[in-house]
Every structure is written in C-alpha cells, then in structure tokens.
Amino acid sequence: MDTYRAPVADMSFLIDEVLDAESCLGSLPDFADLGVGPELTTALLDEAAKLAGEELAPLRRLGDEQPATCADGAVTSSPGHEAALNQMGAGGWIGISCDPNYGGQGLPEIYSTVGHEMWNGANMALALAPMLSSGAALAIHAHGSDEQKQTYLEKMHTGEWMGTMNLTEAGAGSDLGVMKTRAVPEGDHYRITGQKIYITWGDHQATDNIIHLVLAKLPDAPEGSRGISLFIVPKFMVNEDGSLGERNDVYPVSVEHKLGIHGSPTCVMAFGDNGGAVGYLLGEENQGLACMFTMMNEARLKVGIQGLGASEGALQKATAYARERVQGGVPIIEHADVKRMLLTMKSLCEAMRALAYSEAVTMDLAHRGEEAQRQAMQARIDLMIPVIKGWMTEVGQEVTSLGVQVHGGMGYVEETGAAQYFRDVRITPIYEGTNGIQAADLVSRKLGRDGGAAMETVLQDIRDTCTKLEAAGDDRLTAIAAALVTALAEQERSTQWILQALRDSVPTAMGASFEYMMQTGYLFGGWHMARSALVALERVRSGSDNPFYEAKIATTLYYAEQILPRCAAHAGAVAGSAGSLQSYPVEWI
C-alpha cells in the first residue's frame, strides 16, 4: 500500500505565517464572514490530509497496475477511483473555492491550491478528474447564461456531475485553428459532429452526468482560430426540471495507452456518430478561444501544482527508503551523495510550494481584492503563471527522477513504485500548453507587452527582501542575501537582453525564452524561500523551540548555495542564444 502524508506543517506555515492569509484575504468582502485564518487552515488541512492519505494514496499503485479501459462505448475506471471521487464531492472539496450561489464553498483560492497539491501528491491520475471539472465549471460561470449556470454549476461544484474540456484533435495539437469538429445550428441548440483526442476523464460512471465543453466551428465561421466556438455537450440531456433525459450522441471510442497516469482515462471522444450530438453555445459565436482562456490561468496554476504534488510524493518515498536501506553499515541517507539528492528534492519542493501558494493569493487579490490594486495584481499573476506551469513541471521531472536515483536499482523496477511518480509527471510539461509555449508566452506576451514593467515590480520586491535579509543580523541570512543579490543581477541583465531581442529579432528572443523561463523560476523560488527564512528567524528569536523553523532556514541556505547558482548558467544560455542556435541549419539536425 502506498503512503502519503501531506506536508501540513509547511503548508500551514506558508498560508498563515508567511502569506498571512487572515490579514491579506480575511478582510476582503467576499471572505469576511468565512473565518479565514489559522483555525480554518488547521481544520481544512487536517481533513484534506486525511482524505488524501487514507483514501486517495492507496489507489495510486492500483490505478497504475489496473488502468482504465474502454469497451462498447463506455469506460471502466480503475478500482476504487469512482468511489474516491464520490467522497471528494461529498466532502465539498471539488467546489471549495467556487461561487457559493451555485453550490461552492466560496473559500480563497489558496485553500483550493493546497487541496490540489494533496490530491496530486497522493494520486495524480485521480486528481485530474476534479481539476478538469473545475475548469469546465469556471468557463460556464464566466460565460454561461443564467439558465446554463442554474442548470449545470451546482451539480458540478458538488461533484454530482463532472466536466471535461474537449480541445485537441488528431493532427491539430496546439494549433486549434485547423480543427474539423463542426456545429450546425438547429433551433435552440446545435448538432455537433467530430472527434476529439486526449480527453482527460472523458467517460466514467462516477457521476450521473458528464458535462463536456467542446470547441467546434460553425458552417460560416472565419478561418483559423478566429472561427472557433465553445459548446456545452452533456452526456445525458437535462430536462427542464433538472432531471436527466436521454443519452446524448457522445461516446468514448478508446482510451490511450500512456507512459503514466494510467488511472486517468484519457479518451478519444466521438461526437455525432449517430446523427449529431446536441450542444448549446457557451458565450458568443466565434469566441470559443476567449471563453477557454478564462480558465487558463487557474488551469496552468493547477498543472504547476501537479509538478509539486508528484515531487512531494517522490520525496517522501525516497526519504523513507533512504532511512531504511543500509549500505556500508549505515542507512544510505548518511551517504553524502544521497543526502545531496534528498536536500535538492526537499529544497525544490519547498521553493515550488512557496511560489505557487503566494501566487494563489495574488489570483484572489486580482479578482476580489481592492479595486485600486486589481490591475497590478492581474499583471503580476499573468507574469507568474507561465513560470509556475513551465518551471515547476520541469523541476518536477528532475525531482521525481532523483527519487528513482535514490532507490538505486530498486527505483528502476516497478516493485517500489518510485518510477510511477517519474512516469506520471512527464505529461505535465506537455499539456495545458507545452513548456515551449509557456516560455514564449512569458517572453512575447507578458514581458513584451509592458516593456518589462510587471517584471520590474517583482524584481523590486526581491530587492526589498534582500535588504531585510542583510539587516537581519544572522550569518545564514546574510549568505542567502548574497546569493539572491547575485541571481537578481543576472535576472536584470537577462531581462534587458530579452527586451532588446524582442525589438531586434523576435526569433532570437524566442530562442532564449525557455532558458529565461527557467532562470526566472529558480530566482522566484529562491526569493520565496528567503521570505520564509525571514519569518522562521523571527520565530526562533521569539523563543520557539520548534525545529521546523531552524530546518526552514537551513533548507533555504542549501537552496541559496546549491540551486540559485543555476540562474547563472541559464543567464549565460540566454545571452548566447543569438549565436549557434539561430545560425544552425535545420537540415543538419
């Protein structure tokens, strides 16, 4: 049986002590009556940790070994997964941050984020179902008519129904403009015909209904991505009284045989093979991509969290093994290289968590904060999202790979379960926009659109943190500050280089974009670790004897000494991208 224990101490430390959710969120009108603060955090984290550790984690290996299957137009889920989804819905976890007017809990995004980390640390394949359902519900909430909201949202938020996102087609990939799925008007609805691939949890029997959101083109639609519309296509039709009617013409054709996330049925979905599936327009005609992008920030935050969740699971498994495995007369955790790997895993996990949780708060401030600060907060979250999605999923591959390495040969065989984290997380740099797309988005859209203004605001915050570190009067924090100052200077140079490249040669800037994204991620992770170290030092000086705080300072120092120097390597690659990359003929590859 797999074990997973949510890192509740670090989670609550970030939420209540570093980010101070009670002060920055608890007083906002939307949250004022919810009791945001340490008591709520403790209650939620304890219950979520119990669900993740006791119910979801034991199914991780089961789903890997007994994948979902498809036959006769229906999916059979991995054992236990549907019951676990029912438990998540019944506990209110699926709609935890959703509109309370439609069955949600209405809590800040930070609580949804921490839950999402737990679900993915315990069982990433299963966690994909509520993640995609929440994204579909968010699109309906933002663009649906009052009738559509009343019909679908409450049951989706409570987990009685699930939702999916149907974008990709064979041969189209990320280029949605060439899609072939069609929607023909027919009275108050449309007839949808076509086929979609890579549809996560496209079919199952966990819920009474599945609400598919489907991108399709109208007969007279403009060419390319400007001619895409979005439609609600329920698995079962919904009657006026809310009861379920006849089966709609949408069926799974098959499930993909994948490298990982075997417990998640990734379906080929057929719409309209028997006359046309009934669909209802969501938003306006030919505005489908705009509707989909409504939920992209949240979806990409959640994918970044998947990288963190899998990394935390791999860290826990590797640490447990290293404490038990004896070699040379001592547990291998005493060996210098094993200790190096584990500390690398641990520090990267904590850096990812600090970055993602901080920006979950930013997301709430952008949507629900004081009116005067919303624009600035939106600019910041827009800048952060490609870094969170891209950097955290790249780091997730490294951490889960190190988890295999700590196990040695036993990590390479499936018996230990260490390899599953590595296999599962490999999809995260690919979906919701490949990391190359995230890097291009960071450079061309987020950095380029405002001339680096949003980035400069964040860099100033980092400078302020460095000043506090230097003034703390602690040798460890002084060393952390020195490393952060060096990385900050490199980031400033790379940013100016990118901005100049955008003016001179966009292909050159694009060639540097991935390295710049990674450099930015390591810097931002180190910055948030440093913020945590400042709070930890305050607690130590106030008399706390909790070893957690000393460990936090020590982990941050390790990150500063061993991880932050990576920024220099990426900065060098950024500056060098105008050379061999651009001049190398593609026929030589």
Residue 187 backbone phi and psi in degrees, to 5: 70, -125
b/e map of 365-399 (b: 16 or more CB within 10 Å)?
bbebbeeeeeebbbbbbbbbbbbbbbbbbbbbbeb
* Interstrand relation of 209-216 and 266-271 (parallel, antiparallel or unpaired): unpaired
CB 143 within 8 A of CB 48: no
CB 207 within 8 A of CB 214: no
Residue (of 308, 326, 310) closest to 408 by Cα position: 326
List, in sequence order, every residue forming a beta bridge with 266; answer none if it has no partner: 200
Of all residues in the chain, what percent are helix, strand and coil, respectively (each to 5)?
60, 10, 25
Q: Which helix (H) or strand (E) holds 306?
A: helix 296-324
The Cα 375–Cα 106 span in angstroms is: 22
Angle at 292 between CA 301 and CA 366, to 5 degrees: 50
CB 176 within 8 A of CB 228: yes
CB 490 within 8 A of CB 568: yes
Residue (of 279, 230, 227) closest to 250 by Cα position: 279
The Cα 301–Cα 309 span in angstroms is: 12
Within 8 A by CB and 6+ apart from 572, the residues are: none
Helices (H), 408-505: 409-412, 418-425, 435-440, 453-471, 475-504
Within 8 A by CB and 6+ apart from 457, the residues are: 376, 379, 380
CB 498 within 8 A of CB 506: no
What token pair was written down for 434? Answer: 């490949």
b/e map of 35-60 (b: 16 or more CB within 10 Å)?
ebbeebbeebbeebbebbbebbbbbb
The Cα 116–Cα 124 span in angstroms is: 9
What is the SS3 assignment for 253? Answer: strand
| Sign, Cα dihedral of 80, 83, 88, 91 | negative
| Entry field: residues in the chain | 589
Q: Which helix (H) or strand (E) holds 175?
A: none
Helices (H), 178-217: none
The Cα 287–Cα 152 span in angstroms is: 21
Active site (annotated) includes residue 117: no
- Measured CA distances, 131 to 96, 159, 387, 488 (Å): 12, 11, 19, 34
The one catalytic residue in 55, 432, 490, 515 is 432
CB 571 within 8 A of CB 521: no
Q: Which residues are catalytic?
A: 432
